[in-house]
Chains A and B, each alone.
Chain A
Amino acid sequence: MKSVFITYDQAYQDSVMAILSKHNIRGYSGWQGITGCGSRSGEPHQGSHAWPALNNALLTVIDDSKVAPLLEALRELDKTSDLLGLRAFVWNIEASI
């Protein structure tokens, strides 16, 4: 079991949800309208007067086998636009109930 943390520009919300469902991923937890800033490039997402954009984030815990195709799909989505950011990070799940 791995957990995948996806954080992305709000505009990607529908696309990300579509990818999840395409990969048969049902469970997730999401946060909407959060701030953030890329490490290397891209505009900050701060919901302020200067940087009005905001991010959404999503954490899903999936089988190991599903991780690679999901990341691939997300990478494809990220490529569609340079200016909208999308990042995904994978952790191990130690235990769960």
Chain B
Amino acid sequence: MSSIYQTSVRKPITTALIFIAVVILGIFSFQRLPIDLYPNIEVNMLMVMTSYQGASAADIETNITKPLENTLNTVSNLKKISSSSRENTSIIQLEFEFGEDLDVLTNDVRDKLELIKSYLPDGASTPLIFKFSTDMIPILYISAEAQESLPGLYKILDNNVANALARIKGVGTVSISGAPEREIQVYVDPGKLEAYNLSIESISQAIMLENRNTPAGTVDIGSNTYSLRVRGEFVEVSQLNQVVVGNFDGKTIFLSDVASIRDGGQERMQEAYTNEKQGATIIIQKQSGANTVQIAEAVKTELNKIQQNLPSDIKLQIIADSSDNIKNSISSLQETVIFAFLFVLLVVLFFLGRWRATLIIMVTIPISLIAAFIYLFGTGGSLNIISMSGLIIAIGLVVDDAIVVLENITTHIERGSDPRSASILGTNEVALAVMASTLTLVAVFLPFTLVPGMAGMMFKQLGWMVTIMISMSLITAITLTPMMTSRMLRRNMKQGKLFAPIEKGLARFDKAYGSFIHWAIRHRRKIMGSATVIFFLALIPAFTSLGFENMPASDNSRISATVELPVGTGLNISRSIALNISQDWRKKYPEIEMINFSVGQPSESNAWGTLMNKGSHVLSYTIRLAPKNSRKRSMFEITELMRQDLGDMPDVKKSNVIAGGGNNMTGGQSTLNVEIYGFDFSETDRVASELAAKMKEIKGFTNITISREDYQPEYQVDFDREKLAINGLNITTASNFLRNRMSGALTSLFREDGEEYNIRVIYAPEFRKSIEDIENILIYNAQGKSVRLRDVGRVYECFSPPTIERKSRQRVITVSGVASGITLDKAVNATNSILKQMDIPSDISTVLGGSYEDMQEMFADLGTLFLIILMLVFVVMASQFESLTYPFVIMFSIPFALVGVILSLWITGHTVNTMSFIGVIMLSGIVVKNGIVLIDYINLNRERGMGVIRAVVKGGESRLRPVLMTSITAILGMIPLAISQGEGAEMWQPMAVTVIGGLSVSTLLTLVVIPTLYTSFAKNGIVRQRKKIAKLYQKK
């Protein structure tokens, strides 16, 4: 008979070397593991964009959005479809189920679009598919402050910074905003144009014709061939002055006679300010799959080099670095792993009292963890919050198997076996039991890999990791542990002197517990009664004061704010308001390390910016606070104060302050969206504003915003087609004239040092200031005859309708709020009661969404997971005991774990959220394991012929230490997590608190309740058996 443990004891060198090889492989993997905040969550969004020039929002809705929605709605795996139709464009967002292959989905969408394309209006463009990805989220914002170099800032940054950074491996795009882009403007005076009978068109034509290089072929001179060319392009901007634009009364008219040339920045541009100093913002996005932390490091070292080559007045500074948060979170978790290891070491040493034995046990921890690193490396995973907490949980679990094996081997040695045979026989005896208990834990953690949706994306890795670690610990326990005991343990080994009193104390404790159990099982009613009372008492806080939310919000020292001033506010006013706010905040909140804001319209070349619907009335702030440990007020308090500040400002029409900077799916504050579905604009508007007003009154519910924008004021020019026709004009010609004068004609480029700059011919700014200026525009027809705009058309003010938003193919308007100070479930209740009281027309329906929707989905998924786990654990236990009663008894410890969970969450003020839910699931594994250890030994005692009561008392006495050991290692492993104040601590505190509370209460109660319940069931069993026997005798 040659078993694996026999082989490993007989071949210690092979065994040792195999494990050393595993360790080396693991260290290799560990060094190459990237660091991230969360497991790689694949995106599940697609966007379909279609443009139809000249159509209003309502036209777009009926002609483009609706038919596209109807077709796209049939794509498989589609979860949600929402759209926004605005002037000229339709944008449809498709959200799919998590875990589907986005490439396949994209193809499906493309096929559907192909089908519908021919039914779209003629002028509509081909629908474009955009893939969303997490890579679109910028990882680094760098501000560049400048004084003297400000005019040339764009070029300096583009050449020296952006290009250099873009060369770094993994960097996706580097974009610069807020730096003026150079442009040559030709400001013409319309009066002079009229006097000389010139127009913008003729001037730009003249410039174009003067600014041209022409190759003229080749010429043979003597025996040589030369190429011939004319270099007409401007070399200097001042040359523009000499361009001849026409003749008048026999005199030549130069460009300088009718216009002034300006060489400077674009007129309309986005300005960026950092700590009230103007500069530019450089935004860095990463390539798909690249690692944030590595890139950020590389960028930062590169920045130091770049800074030396820049003009001295340009200062580069990092505004926001998403890698900071990741690094801090992971490093505080790494500390926790070390603490957990130390705690486990102390506990094992305390209970075993032997250095060698402790060493043999502790070896299993690194080996098991290393197996997880190999898994992570092999599957392209990363070290993140979830995988790190998996490691911490596992540290307390992986030692158990080795302890059981070691204890049995020690017993054998103490009985007189020599260490070698004791190692083989001792392992052989418990191998099956150890496998069964590992199987129980696998039954808890393996189902994590099967969860669908968002929860699945988050916890798949955790499930695999813990499963692999405990499997590895099993392998270690039946190979390496016996090998090491056979070499390191001796017969007649004495415990150290230090441990003698501990051993004595523990023995006394065992006895005391034994006599307590003896008392308890004789007063079963009392015990069960009080346990039931405790259970129901604990449910009270669960239903009254415990809050529920999806993910705990975590303080990452970043705040972002969008402030909307009344529509149409000019850049100058916006800028001064923005500067005031910025100054005020810096004075009021000394916690602010840096405040950056941008104001104004992004340039036309910035496609993403134009999509985001910005105007000169919108200010966007990015604020970085001092690190979490160095300030008293939390990010959330400051955010709340900022919201109040903005609310008090009369100029501010709408504001949205987001703690955590950006509404990412995890870590931000919980939002509640009320989606109001209805076709009629005015009705839904009324309901939305009434609801918003009432929601503002809910205490702790802030940042209430309504999604639908206001009607935008604008000027429209209404041409009279008849009058145009009389003058030989048409709408296109006339509107082109208007456009060229107001926004300029771009006809030519000025080249310098390999760069090209636009030459824009436009009315000088002082002639573009009033409606009269527009009305006075001269429009020329083909015959050169001119007519004023006011004679063929009319300028009037009007309002353009807002974007039409739709969701699930219905018009929708969303009122959203942030739960800050109250928990999400309370906000939901309050909102629901408001909705009940409100008078809502029957054709308008409301649905609650936002984080609340996510929470419900997540809780449903996790609830299913919990049920599956309970069933699997039951199956494993039932087959181990070959009984349905004992697993049932053991399962009783889970409600008591819940008692501890509820109480600890209640006392510490945490909420029930995804993380604490995960805590409950993990903890039930450990609790059940404790029950198995206890009942297994009681059963053993009974099989050895003891009576029920004696078996229970003796079993309790002898299993008290292993049970306490398992629980205490797990609890102590979690304590560093629970008290950690590092960045991201809010995320795992609820989980740690759950495990600590649940495990301590359930261990205490389990140690009393399970023996009591066992006795009752066993007694009933015996009574039934006796009755059966009695019946048999009666028959005879």
What is A's interface to B at a CB cutoff of 8 Å?
Answer: 9-15, 32-33, 48-53, 80-84
Q: Is the CB of A14 within 8 A of B418?
A: yes
**A11 pairs with B417, CB closer than 8 A:** yes
* Known contacts A11-B417, A15-B418, A84-B417, A33 near B944 by CB under 8 Å: no
CB B61 to nearest CB in A, in angstroms, measures 73
* Cross-interface CB contact of A11 among B422, B430, B939, cutoff 8 Å: B422
Would A10 and B940 count as touching, CB distance under 8 A? no
Mostly, the B contact residues are helix
CB distance from B52 to the nearest CB of A (A): 78
Which of A15, A52, A53 has most chain B Cβ within 10 Å? A52
Contact, CB under 8 Å: A81 / B416: yes
Residues of B contacting A12 with CB < 8 Å?
421
Q: How far is the CA of A15 from the CA of B422 in the complex (A)?
A: 13
User: Which residue of chain B has the shortest Cβ distance to A54 in the bound complex?
Assistant: B425
B422 cross-chain contacts in A, Cβ below 8 A:
11
B425 touching A14 by the CB < 8 A rule?
no
Interchain CA distance A11-B429 in the complex, whole Å: 13
Chain B residues near A11 (CB-CB < 8 A) = 412, 415-418, 421-422, 425
B611 at interface, CB cutoff 8 A: no
With both chains docked as a complex, state the minimum distance between the C-beta of A56 and any C-beta of chain B, in angstroms: 10
Given contacts A33-B1, A49-B940, A50-B944, contact A83 B415 (CB under 8 A): yes
Binary A-proximity of B398-442 (CB < 8 A = 1, otherwise 0): 000000000000001001111011100100111000000000000
Q: Could you say which of A13, A50, A53, A83 contacts B940, with CB atoms under 8 Å apart?
A: A50
Cα-based distance from A90 to B1009 in the complex (angstroms): 55
Interface residue? B943 (CB, 8 A): yes
Q: List 18 A-B contacts (CB under 8 A).
A: A9-B417, A10-B421, A11-B412, A11-B418, A11-B422, A11-B425, A14-B418, A14-B420, A15-B418, A48-B943, A50-B943, A51-B944, A52-B428, A52-B429, A81-B415, A81-B416, A81-B417, A84-B417
A11, B486: Cα distance in complex, Å = 13
The CA of A23 and the CA of B110, in the complex, are separated in Å by: 88
Interface centre among B420, B422, B944 (most CB of A within 10 A): B944
C-alpha gap A1/B58 in the complex (Å): 114
Please name all residues of chain A whose beta carbon is closer than 8 Å to the beta carbon of B425 when the two chains form the complex: 10-11, 53
Chain A CB within 10 Å — which of B412, B417, B418, B940 has the most? B417
What is the bound-complex CA distance between A53 and B428, given in angstroms? 10
In the bound complex, what is the Cα–Cα distance between A81 and B415 (angstroms)? Answer: 6
Q: Is the CB of A83 within 8 A of B416?
A: yes
Closest to B420 in A: A14
Give the complex CA separation of A10 and B415 in angstroms. Answer: 12
Which B residues lie within 8 Å of A81 (CB)?
415-417
A13 to B425, CA, bound (A): 11
Instruction: Using CB atoms, name the residue of chain A closest to B945.
Output: A50
Bound Cα distance A14, B425 (Å): 13
Nearest 9 interchain pairs by C-beta: A81-B416, A11-B417, A50-B943, A83-B415, A52-B429, A11-B421, A84-B416, A50-B944, A50-B940
- Across the interface, B415 reaches (CB within 8 A) one of A32, A48, A51, A84, namely A84
Q: Mark B932-945, 1 if CB is under 8 A from A, else 0.
A: 00000001100110
CB pair A13–B421 under 8 Å, yes or no, is yes
Q: Which residue of A lies closest to B411 (CB)?
A: A83
Question: Number of A-B pairs whose CB atoms are under 8 Å?
Answer: 42
Nearest CB of B to A10, in Å: 5
Q: Which A residues are in CB contact (< 8 Å) with B416? A: 11, 80-84
Whole-angstrom CA separation of A94 from B489 in the bound complex: 47
How many angstroms between the C-alpha atoms of A32 and B3 in the bound complex? 14
CB neighbours of A84 from chain B (8 A): 415-417
Q: Cβ of B428: which chain A residues have Cβ within 8 Å of it?
A: 52
A52→B430 CA distance, assembly (Å): 9
Considering the complex, give the chain B residue whose CB is closest to the CB of A44.
B944
- B71 CB, min distance to chain A CBs, angstroms: 65
CB distance from B996 to the nearest CB of A (A): 34
Q: Which residue of A lies closest to B416 (CB)?
A: A81
Smallest CB separation, B737 vs chain A (Å)? 99
B882 to chain A, nearest CB (A): 10
Q: What residues of chain B lie closer than 8 Å to A83, measured between beta carbons?
A: 415-416
Tell me, rounded to whole Å, the shortest Cβ–Cβ distance linking A31 to chain B. Answer: 12
User: Please, how many angstroms separate the alpha-carbon atoms of A83 and B421 in the complex?
Assistant: 15
Chain B 909-957 interface residues, beta-carbon cutoff 8 Å to A: 939-940, 943-944
Which B625-644 residues sit within 8 Å CB-CB of chain A? Answer: none
User: B781 CB to closest chain A CB, in angstroms?
Assistant: 106
Considering the chains assembled together, what is the distance between the CA atoms of A50 and B425 in angstroms?
Answer: 15
Min CB–CB distance B325 → chain A (angstroms): 52
Give complex CA distance A25, B939 in Å: 44
Q: Are A14 and B429 in contact (CB under 8 A)?
A: no
User: Shortest distance in angstroms between A49's beta carbon and chain B's nearest beta carbon?
Assistant: 6
Contact of B1 among A9, A32, A52, A80 (CB under 8 A): A32
Nearest residue, chain B, Cβ from A81: B416
- CB atoms of B421 and A14 under 8 A apart: yes
Residues of chain A within 8 A of B430, CB atoms compared: 52
In the complex, what residues of A have CB within 8 A of residue B1's CB? 32-33
Give the distance to chain B from A9, nearest Cβ to Cβ, in Å: 8
**Chain B residues whose CB sits within 8 angstroms of the CB of A80 once the complex forms:** 416
By a CB distance below 8 angstroms, the chain B residues around A82 are: 416
Residue of chain B at shortest CB distance from A50: B943
Nearest Cβ on chain A to B421's Cβ, whole angstroms: 4
User: A32-B1, A53-B425 given. 20 additional CB < 8 A pairs?
Assistant: A10-B421, A10-B425, A11-B412, A11-B415, A12-B421, A13-B421, A14-B420, A14-B421, A33-B1, A50-B943, A50-B944, A51-B944, A52-B430, A53-B429, A81-B415, A81-B416, A81-B417, A82-B416, A83-B415, A84-B415
- Bound together, the chains give a CA A39 to CA B995 distance in angstroms of 51
Residue of B nearest to A78 (CB): B416
Interface centre among B1, B420, B429, B939 (most CB of A within 10 A): B429
- In the complex, what distance in Å separates the CA atom of A12 from the CA atom of B422? 10
- Residues of chain B lying within 8 A (CB to CB) of residue A52: 428-430
User: What residues of chain B lie closer than 8 Å to A51, measured between beta carbons?
Assistant: 944
Task: Tell me the smallest distance from the CB of B947 to a CB of chain A, in Å.
Answer: 15
Nearest CB of chain A from residue B400's CB, rounded to whole Å: 19
**Complex contact A49–B943 (CB within 8 A):** yes
Q: How far is the CB of A35 from chain B (nearest CB, A)?
A: 14
- Per the bound structure, the CA–CA distance linking A10 and B429 in Å amounts to 12
Q: How far is the CB of B424 from chain A (nearest CB, A)?
A: 8
Q: In the complex, A11 Cα to B944 Cα: how many Å?
A: 21
* A contact residues around B943 at 8 Å (CB): 48-50
Query: Which chain A residues lie closer than 8 Å to B944 at the CB level?
Result: 50-51
How many angstroms from the CA of A81 to the CA of B430 in the assembled complex? 22
In the complex, what residues of A have CB within 8 A of residue B418's CB? 11, 14-15
Q: Once the chains are docked, how many angstroms separate the CA of A59 from the CA of B428?
A: 25
- Shortest Cβ distance from residue B492 to the other chain A in the assembled complex, whole angstroms: 11
In the complex, how many angstroms separate the beta carbon of B954 from the nearest chain A beta carbon? 13
